[in-house]
Amino acid sequence: MTKMAKIREPDDDWAGRTIIGVPVDAPRSPRSLCLDQPDVPGIHDFAIERNIFKIRLADLRNKRNPASMLINKMYSWRGYDPSAATAPHPNRITLTASHDQQVVGTISMGFDSPIGLLVDELYKAEIDPLRKEGRKLCEFTKLAVDSSVRSKRVLAALYHISYIYARNIQQHTDLFIEVNPRHVKFYERMLGFRQHGGEKTCPRVNAPAVLLWLELDYAHRQIQKLGGHTEHVGAEKSLYPYFFSQAVEDVITARLRELT
């Protein structure tokens, strides 16, 4: 595998956009965990200083932004069209996790509107009944953690802060994600997703896709029960013990309100 150059953050204004710093655990090899994100990261960032990573917000309209640059590099490297990954979207925001001014993790959030969600392309029939019930839908896309920090804490922090923005700030109720079939068990076991659509071929990346669904009230209950309780790691086979405590979630919610 060809080693890629690191994407570094600019030195200006990043501290002012940091949401929180989180300890990093042992690194492992890279792996993409979301259908339409190849293998590496980029979004609104967290920086990592030594054994601390920070998470921030990324502006993908700025093509020189490290998140956009990293997504571009990853899509081009895998032979995908990077324009679809970095194109501005009026109802989408991105988070990045950073360490030592290097972007090492990313996740994007999309929120339902009259123009719909990316998952509508394959699964509109499956999710329209929830819309008719008056539920507010959102989706996570382009999730990955780089090889430099293959960390459950980084992954959990990206997910938890995305959850906070979706549920606490935007008042959404249901989350969807398209994943490769080989990742279905990971999402079911680690986060409580359920399959909501059969396997189809996603034309955006020419790869098989499965639609997964998570009710955010379920995530809320798991976070209240397990968030911040790393003593349950090992006994509890999920990511939720790596999530923040309720007290820290409240601080992050307030910080996100300031930033957005």
Collapsing DSSP to helix, strand or coil, 148 comes out as: helix
Tell me the pTM.
0.77
Residue pLDDT, tens place only, 28-84: 333 344 444 333 333 233 333 345 678 888 755 554 455 555 555 555 544 445 555
SS3 95: strand
Bigger pLDDT: 50 or 149?
149
* CA separation for the pair 220, 17 (Å, rounded): 25
**Spatial contact of 252 and 20, defined as CB atoms under 8 Å apart:** yes
Q: Which two tokens stand for residue 67?
A: 């998140």
Residue 204 class from Cβ within 10 Å (0-12 exposed, 13-18 middle, 19+ buried)? middle
pLDDT digits (tens, 9 = 90+) for 188-240: 999 999 999 999 998 877 889 999 999 999 999 999 999 999 888 877 789 99
Separation of alpha carbons 227 and 27, rounded Å: 22
Q: Tokens 């994007």 sit at which residue?
A: 108
Q: How many CA atoms lie within 13 A of 244 on its CB side?
A: 22
Contact 244, 250 (CB under 8 A): no
| pLDDT given at position 29 | 32
Q: Domains in the chain, please, with CATH?
A: 15-259 (3.40.630.30)
Cβ partners under 8 Å of residue 258, min gap 6: none
pLDDT single digits (tens) 154-188: 889 999 999 999 999 999 999 999 998 999 999 99
pLDDT of amino acid 67 = 55
Query: 98: part of which helix (H) or strand (E)?
Result: strand 92-99
Write out the DSSP string of 31-93. EE-STT--S---SBEE--BTTEEEEEEE-TTSTTSHHHHHHHHHHHHTT--HHHHHS--TTEE
